[in-house]
Chain A
Amino acid sequence: MRFTKDHEWVELSGDIATIGISAYAANALGDVVFVETPEIGKAVKAGDGFAVVESVKAASDVYAPVSGEVVEANGALSDTPEMVNQDPEKDAWFAKVRVSDPAEVEALMDRDAYEAFLATL
Chain B
Amino acid sequence: MQSVGRPTQPQAVSATPDTLTGARGLLQDEVLIFELGGWDKTGVDLAEPELDASDLGDLVRVEPIGLPGLSEPETLRHYVRLSQKNHAIDLALYPLGSCTMKHNPRLNEKMARLAGFADIHPLQPQSTVQGAIELMDELSHWLKTLTGMPAVALSPKAGAHGELCGLLAIRAAHVARGDARKRVLVPTSAHGTNPATAAFVGYLVEEIAQTDDGRVDLGDLEAKLGPDVAAIMVTNPNTCGLFERDVIEIARLTHSAGAYFYCDGANFNAIVGRVRPADLGVDAMHINLHKTFSTPHGGGGPGAGPVVLSEALAPYAPAPWIVHGEDGYSLDEAPAGAFGRMCAFHGQMGMFVRALAYMKSHGTDGLRQVAEDAVLNANYIKARLSPVMSAAFTGPCMHEALFTDAWLEGTGVTTLDFAKAMIDEGFHPMTMYFPLVVHGAMLIEPTETESRNELDRFCDAVLKLASAARSGDADRFKGAPFHAPLRRLDETRAARKPVLKCPPPG
List residues of chain A with CB under 8 Å of any chain B CB. 31, 33-34, 54, 56-59, 81-82
B433 touches A33 (CB 8 A): no
Interface majority SS (helix, strand, loop, mixed), chain B = helix
Contact with A along B431-454 (1 / 0, CB 8 A): 001001000000000000000000
* Cross-chain contact A58 with B496 (CB below 8 angstroms): no
Fill in one digit per residue for B477-506: 1 if any A CB lies within 8 Å of its CB, else 0: 000000000000001100110000000000
Is the Cβ of B433 less than 8 Å from the Cβ of A34?
A: no
Which residues on the A side are within 8 Å of B433 (C-beta)?
57-58
B436 and A81 contacting across the interface, CB-CB below 8 Å: no
A33 and B436 within 8 A (CB): no
Point out the residues of chain A lying under 8 angstroms from B436, CB to CB: 58
Q: Residues of B contacting A57 with CB < 8 Å?
A: 433
| Residue numbers in A under 8 Å from B192 (CB-CB) | 59
A31-B492, A33-B496 given; 13 more Cβ-contact pairs under 8 Å: A31-B491, A33-B492, A33-B495, A34-B495, A54-B495, A56-B491, A56-B492, A56-B495, A57-B433, A58-B433, A59-B192, A81-B496, A82-B496
Chain B residues packing against A (C-beta within 8 Å) = 192, 433, 436, 491-492, 495-496
B492 CB contacts on chain A under 8 angstroms: 31, 33, 56
Question: Which residues from B are CB-within-8-Å of A33?
Answer: 492, 495-496
In the assembled complex, the Cα of A56 lies from the Cα of B496 at a distance in Å of 10
| Cβ contacts under 8 Å, B495 to chain A | 31, 33-34, 54, 56
- 17 A-B Cβ contacts within 8 A? A31-B491, A31-B492, A31-B495, A33-B492, A33-B495, A33-B496, A34-B495, A54-B495, A56-B491, A56-B492, A56-B495, A57-B433, A58-B433, A58-B436, A59-B192, A81-B496, A82-B496
- Bound complex: CA A81 to CA B496 (Å): 8
Chain B residues, CB < 8 A from A81: 496
Residue of B433, B491, B492 with most partner-chain A CB within 10 A: B492
Q: Chain B contacts of A34 at CB under 8 A?
A: 495
In the bound complex, how far is the Cα of B433 from the Cα of A56, in angstroms?
10
Q: Which 6 A-B pairs have the closest CB atoms?
A: A33-B495, A31-B492, A56-B491, A57-B433, A33-B496, A58-B436
Closest to A80 in B: B496
B496 to chain A: which residues have CB within 8 Å?
33, 81-82
Residue of A nearest to B491 (CB): A56
Contacts of B491 in A (CB 8 A): 31, 56
Closest to B436 in A: A58
Bound together, the chains give a CA A119 to CA B491 distance in angstroms of 30
CB of A59 to closest CB in B, whole Å = 8
How many Å lie between the Cα of A27 and that of B495 in the bound state? 18
Q: In whole angstroms, how far apart are the Cα atoms of A56 and B489 in the complex? A: 12
**Cα–Cα distance between A33 and B493 once the two chains are bound (Å):** 8
